[in-house]
Amino acid sequence: AQTVTQSQPEMSVQEAETVTLSCTYDTSESDYYLFWYKQPPSRQMILVIRQEAYKQQNATENRFSVNFQKAAKSFSLKISDSQLGDAAMYFCAYRALYSGAGSYQLTFGKGTKLSVIP
Amino acid sequence: SAVISQKPSRDICQRGTSLTIQCQVDSQVTMMFWYRQQPGQSLTLIATANQGSEATYESGFVIDKFPISRPNLTFSTLTVSNMSPEDSSIYLCSVFPDIQNYGYTFGSGTRLTVV
């Protein structure tokens, strides 16, 4: 079974600075998707960024970028120029690529609570 | 991407009662998922709901406790039955819009408190 591990329960960053959130995962699959979701106090799960395992290039979305190390099964999220609105829980998630029983479900890590200090 | 309306947003219920949570999607979607998020925890999948078939439940979740309906491609309900304080959680629905689009959309969640 796939597992997703986020080893940092809490992180903090100064406004305008850069922070990196860690995520590792375990899978026997060679093709899959990885996601970072943001959950602010409103509870809404918001997709931040996604990465296809078959793509070597790291995904980037504005101030958010990932460092995807497939061999190491590592998928960290870098937030540049941190803003107060970035304060939230961040969840790393995994999904297998191919169809099959349960293959479309997401497996989540336990989350990292990010605080942004003004 | 799809837009989901999830209701109610929160509720406080007496133990032993049941609560039905609704998710309405603005477009037809193949798969809907129901998650539970216990206080301070991550999301745990309860079941996958496909239109026209029985929901598929994950280990630790049973149909008698969490009956699910999926009458069409835009709507689903999750009922939390015979509630106890341990059922106090956030419940979220999620949809998988398209086989070719691997993005997921989530509802805004239902915060349930059982007293």
Chain segment A32-64, per-residue pLDDT in tens: 999 999 999 888 899 999 998 988 889 888 999
Contact B108 A33 (CB under 8 A): no
Distances (CA, A) of A9 to A29, A66, A109, A116: 27, 19, 10, 15
Phi-psi region of A100 (alpha: psi -120 to 50; beta: other; left: phi over 0): left
Share of chain B above pLDDT 70, in %: 95
* Residue contacts between A and B (CB atoms, under 8 Å): 45
- pLDDT of residue A108 exceeding 90: yes
Best mutation target among B34, B38, B43, B93 (most A Cβ atoms within 10 Å) is: B43
A12 — pLDDT class (breaks 50, 70, 90): very high
Contact residues, chain B, for A109 at CB < 8 Å: 42
- pLDDT of residue A102 exceeding 60: no
Average pLDDT over residues B42-59: 89
- pLDDT of residue B45 exceeding 60: yes
| Chain B: closest CA distance from residue A33 (Å) | 8
Strand partners, B94: B33, B106
Contact B92 A47 (CB under 8 A): no
Average pLDDT over residues A11-31: 95
B100 — pLDDT class (breaks 50, 70, 90): low
A20 — pLDDT class (breaks 50, 70, 90): very high
Q: Which residue has the tokens 């960024």?
A: A49
Instruction: Quickly list DSSP for B33-97.
Output: EEEEE-TT--EEEEEEEETTSPPEEPTT--TTTS-EEEEETTEEEEEE-S--GGG-EEEEEEEE-
- pLDDT of residue A94 exceeding 90: yes
> Measuring CA to CA, which residue among B65, B67, B61 is closest to residue B46?
B61
Share of chain B above pLDDT 90, in %: 75
Please write the tens of the pLDDT for every residue from B3-38.
Answer: 899 999 999 999 999 999 999 999 888 889 999 999
* CA within 13 Å, CB half, A64: 18
Q: What is the pLDDT of residue B82?
A: 97
Q: What is the pLDDT of residue A103?
A: 61
Judged by a CB distance cut-off of 8 A, whether residue B76 touches chain A is no
* CA within 13 Å, CB half, A66: 27
B97 — pLDDT class (breaks 50, 70, 90): low
Q: What is the pLDDT of residue A101?
A: 56
B101 — pLDDT class (breaks 50, 70, 90): low
| Chain A: closest CA distance from residue B39 (Å) | 12
Average pLDDT over residues A71-96: 96
